[in-house]
Amino acid sequence: MIEAASASKVTFQKISERSENMARKCNFPTAHEPDLTPSEMGVAVGLFDQMRQLPPVRKADPQGIQARLDDFFRLCSESGLKPTVEAMTLCLGISRESAWRWQQEGGEAGILIDRAKSLINAFLTDCAVSGKVNPVYIIWTQKNNFHYSDSITITPPQDNFQTHPQISAEEVLRLREERRALPEKPDLE
């Protein structure tokens, strides 16, 4: 079971003071400071570290996967941590690629991953629509984790090749020679 750490347990005052002294006014690309206090950041890192220390779940143990996902979403709910695919896979002790593979292969593990990712996508979409999370991040994460796309794929009809037969290079040369052999059109001016 993962427990939410309290903000009072983590103190980063000295690190914070040092980083404030080292910061420049224009430090692109880090000019935008995170909207986290040092103690909030410390709590988040502490929660991620707790997840990192958990043993990996096994694909063959759907009950273990379900229990870990329940713990993950409970932790997010109690601590205020936003659920992401990256945090979910960290909590499961597997890579994002493994989660994707399990999802593609189907089975109980794949269904559990798919449903958990659907919950995460619904939450993040709601945050974007309500203006609580930058929509650019949501678009990026939906393209990377939820198969969203902003491209259009045009597939020609299958009978296209039957209605427009291919001709050989020799046939093209023959047609060109026939065209050259035709008399020129008269100039009507």
Name the token pair of 12: 């980063």
Decide if 183 is inside a domain.
no
Query: What mean pLDDT comes out for the span 39-54?
Result: 90
Residue 155 lies in a domain: no
The whole domain housing 18 covers 7-145
Nearest 5°: phi and psi at 57?
-80, 160
Q: How confident is the model at residue 67 (pLDDT cuts 50, 70, 90)?
A: very high
Contact 81, 47 (CB under 8 A): yes
Give domain status of residue 26, yes or no: yes
Evaluate whether residue 119 is within a structural domain: yes
In a domain, 189, yes or no: no
Number of domains, the chain: 1
Tell me whether residue 180 is in a domain: no
What is the per-residue pLDDT for 125? 87
Question: Both tokens of residue 97?
Answer: 């690629």
Can you point out the beta strands (E) in the chain? none
Residues in the chain: 189
Whether 166 is in a domain gets the answer no
Q: Is the pLDDT of residue 177 over 90?
A: no
Cα–Cα distance between 134 and 122 in angstroms, integer?
15
Residue 15 lies in a domain: yes
